[in-house]
Structure 1
Amino acid sequence: MDPRIREHAETIVEHSTGIEAGDDVIVYLPGDAEDLAVALHELLGEKGANPLLLTYSERVERAYLRNSDEFDTPEHELALYENADATIIARSGPNPSEKADVDPETTAAYNRAHDPVKKARLDTTWCLTQYPSSGYAQLAGMSTEAYEEFVYDAVTLDWAAQREFQENLVEILDDASEVRIRAGEETDVTMSIEGNTAANDYGEANLPGGEVFTAPVKHSVEGEVHFDMPLYRQGREVQGVRLTFEDGKVTEFSAERNEDVLQGVFDTDEEARYLGELGIGMNDAIDQFTYNMLFDEKMGETVHMAVGSAYPMCVGEGNEVNDSAEHVDMILDMSEDSVIEVDGEVVQEDGEFIFE
């Protein structure tokens, strides 16, 4: 076995999830990640944990979605997560575009029905990571070998040092009331974060980590955003997304390519039109766009915003938690002609923080 796989598994078990004896752990992996499953089960056995291996296939999911008309919440799956202590999930597979021909309305209906399952999974100690496959390498425009190096370098970062660096921004945001983001000629948006909390993502729930994120006050977002980096969703590339916010809500939207995918997101439920997350990428080790949000949203010199659900841990007492079946991140480049202001003071200009 590639020793990097063992190191990856050790990071998941020791750092990301902190598995202990007696923990009931769901390991949810695609079939091509068997080596990671083996390494994880060796470590979980040494810990005295109780693993349950589930496998998934994008091809199988496509077959189900294309032949279903209605969806109910799967109570057996819900019970599984309600009785678990931890969940480990890895993305992989031979074809990231497998579900490109699934109707966005079908996906929206499926997400609504599975929203309780998603919430139960998020109530466990969870880690989402990536197993490098040739399909995702091709999506990133990289050789398989280069992509493996990219993934393993990203997930085995010095997370203690990354945490310390990101804590500078956490301290700024935790005391803040308003954030304004300007980029180019088409992005100028303000939002309140009064009373909410910033989270330091250093490789726990997401592996790799490398961002600081918070939740906007629901009805406070005002302005326009041009997301100049693509969104890859349902196996399709959505380009040139533009959103207009009024009283926190998306009142106008467009995309230069595959706008129907975006329409499906906003048709999922009313709360999908509100912003649930503001995230600031701070991981300079991720230096290439790969069409994989797990990595791309962590890139240094970027900002991402997610329409849909907010993370409750970021929402302060008295503020409303935006509750949606969707959580869709979109990214904008902040490397030039851009500014992040916090309470009127510049915190980042053209990708460089004031504390660097």
Structure 2
Amino acid sequence: MSDIRQNYARLVLTRGVSLQPGQILVIDAPVWTSGFVRLLTEEAFRLGARDVVTHYADPDADRLRLQYADEETLCDIPRWQVESQTLYGEKNACFLRLDSGDPDGMAGVDPARLSLWKKAVSAPLEGLRLKKMSNDLAWSGVPVPNCRWAKKVFPQMGEAEALEALWQAVYRCCYVSGESAEAGWDAHVEEMQRNVRKINALGVRSLHFQNGKGTDLTLELCDGAVFAGGICHCPEPDGIVFAPNIPTEEILTTPHRDKVNGVVYNTLPLVYGGSVIDDFCLTFRDGEVVDWRCGQGAEVLAGILDTDGGTRRLGEVALVPFDSPINQLGVLFYDTLFDENASCHLALGAGYVDVIPGGDRSKEALIARGLNTSMLHVDFMFGSRDMRCTARDAVGREVEIFRDGLFVI
């Protein structure tokens, strides 16, 4: 195994989930990432992990089950499967998800059945999900290339060449080199933190986005919400530092669930559960999607919007400059973890609790401050080269923070 691959594994553990001595690491991974899982496992024990628990999934088998099992079976989620996650949440484990999918992996699956299954799997994990969104647990999602994904991204290359090209893109976007696991990443995060401090100094209460594609969207933030980027703390506000996403270029916050109005057009495809959704627009009124159109994957998008009472509302808005290193590669990755960091994006569904500091931290109190709750959190990209964003503070002063897709603060 190359030194750079080992350095990437170390970055995932020391900066992603910020694994602590004596802590349990829980890994969720597709079966074809087993080689990298073993690398992570060895490195985790070297760093002092108490244990490493891996939950493998076989997306190909999942597809077959979705095609042939009856709906009652799909919705029957055994208690042991839920407890295999919640048990470790109670033990203060850290949670790592390896992103290594096939963008076309659910082709031919009935979108309604996919939505039904996603809802059934997500519902029993609401408590664990809230703990993660509150940063009471450290968690991270990181990319691990595979051949099918690589061929989708680099179709003109042979399989081995495409796979190596995708690994090189991962290293570049995560600031990893053969010499260092963390130095480039740490410098990048510090630059992001400087921009976070600048934005928070403005006292932003609302954002207005416009571009030539037709987006004209105004959203207010949850009461007291601030911006964060690159890192979080477990627990907030001054616990251990971890990175929920590797790579990351986003500076994000949580919109008020009832105070989003206007229209937004996507600018990059959204890959959801192995299906591609593209050429869509959403119209919001008082926080809710009241109209929408979609050119590709309409049935899948409908399934997302109708999952529960929160999936027609927003849980995240993220600022990503158009000149981000991921966007500069000029590659469509067909993977949200990458593509959301090439473009400003929004998320339908659950909002982030950690960016609403202070006060009563109960679910009811956070909802009263505007937090959106949902079983899902689905990011989609709407940034563009001509994106303009104007911020307004509590007394109505306006400051332009994005012009031509770039920060101007």
**TM-score normalised according to structure 2 size:** 0.80
Cα distance in 2 for residues equivalent to 1:78 and 1:342: 42
Contact map agreement 2:276 2:296 (CA 8 A) in 1: yes
Tell me if the contact between 2:253 and 2:355 (Cα under 8 Å) persists in the aligned partners. Answer: yes
1:192 aligned partner, one-letter code: E
Contact 1:74 1:114 in 2 (8 A): no
Partner of 2:236 in structure 1?
A: none
Q: Does structure 1 residue 341 correspond to structure 2 residue 343?
A: no
Q: Identify unmatched segments of 5+ residues in structure 2.
A: 156-161, 177-183, 232-241, 360-367, 393-397
Shift of 1:173: 4.1
Counterpart residue number, 1:289: 332
How far residue 154 of structure 1 moved from its aligned partner, in angstroms, is 1.6
- 2:128 matched to which residue of 1? 120
Say which of 316, 321, 338 aligns to 2:371: 321
**CA–CA distance in structure 1, aligned partners of residues 65 and 137 of structure 2:** 27
Q: Is contact 2:258-2:370 (8 Å) kept?
A: no
In the alignment, is residue 31 of structure 1 matched against residue 31 of structure 2?
A: yes
- Counterpart of 1:353, as a letter, is F
Structure 1 equivalent of residue 179 of structure 2: none
**Contact 1:178–1:190 under 8 Å retained in 2:** yes
Alpha-carbon distance between aligned partners in 1 of 2:404 and 2:23, rounded to the nearest angstrom: 45
1:177 aligned residue: 205
SS of 2:83's equivalent?
helix
Once residues 4 and 334 of structure 1 are traced to their aligned partners in structure 2, the CA distance between those partners, rounded to angstroms, is 33
1:309 is matched with 350
Check if 1:137 corresponds to 2:141: no
Is the Cα contact below 8 Å between 1:102 and 1:234 reproduced in 2?
A: no
- Rounded to whole Å, the distance in 2 between the matches of 1:102 and 1:185 is 31
Counterpart amino acid of residue 104 in structure 1: P
What is the deviation of 1:35? 2.4
| Among 192, 205, 213, the residue aligned to 1:166 | 192
Name the SS of the counterpart of 1:270 in structure 2.
Answer: coil
Q: Give the ranges of 4+ consecutive aligned residues of structure 1 lying more than 4 Å apart after TM superposition.
A: none
Q: Is the 1:6–1:39 contact (alpha carbons within 8 Å) kept by the matching residues of 2?
A: yes
* Partner residue in 2 for 1:20: 20
Amino acid at match of 2:82: L
Alpha-carbon deviation of 1:239? 1.5
What pairs up with 1:68-217 in 2 under 5 angstroms? 68-70=70-72, 71-84=75-88, 85-93=93-101, 95-115=102-122, 116-117=124-125, 119-120=127-128, 122=132, 124-141=137-154, 143-157=162-176, 158-174=184-200, 175-193=203-221, 194-202=223-231, 204-217=243-256
Judge conservation of contact 2:115–2:304 (CA < 8 Å) in 1: yes
* Contact kept in structure 1, 2:103 and 2:271, CA below 8 Å: no
AA partner of residue 94 (structure 2): A
**TM-aligned CA deviation for residue 269 of structure 1:** 1.0
Amino acid at match of 1:137: A
1:171-227 per-residue CA deviation (whole Å, 9 max, x = no partner) reads 344321111101115111111114112221257111112211111011110101111
SS in 2 for 1:313: coil
Q: One-letter code of the match for 1:51?
A: V
The one-character-per-residue Cα deviations of 1:218-269 (angstroms, maximum 9, x if unpaired) are 1110101111221122322222111100000000001112211111111111
- Contact residue 197 and residue 313 of structure 1 kept, 8 A: no
Farther off after superposition, 191-200 or 309-318: 309-318
C-alpha displacement at 1:119, in angstroms? 4.8
Q: Report the 3-state secondary structure (helix = DSSP H, G, I; strand = E; otherwise coil) of the residue aligned with 1:221.
A: strand
Match of 1:265 in 2: 304
TM-superposed deviation, 1:73: 4.3
Q: CA RMSD in A?
A: 2.0
* 1:92 counterpart letter in structure 2: S
Query: Aligned in 2, Cα 1:169/1:72: closer, same or farther, shift over 3 Å?
Result: farther
- Secondary structure at 2:189's aligned position in 1? helix
Contact 2:213 2:265 in 1 (8 A): no
Report if aligned partners of 1:65, 1:107 keep a CA contact under 8 Å in 2.
yes
Partner SS for 1:90: strand
Q: 209-218 or 117-126, which moves further after superposition?
A: 117-126
Change (3 A) 1:327 1:149: same
TM-score (norm 1): 0.92
Aligned letter for 1:286? I
Q: Higher mean Cα deviation, 289-298 or 63-72?
A: 63-72
Give the number of equivalent residue pairs.
Answer: 351
Shift of 1:56: 1.3
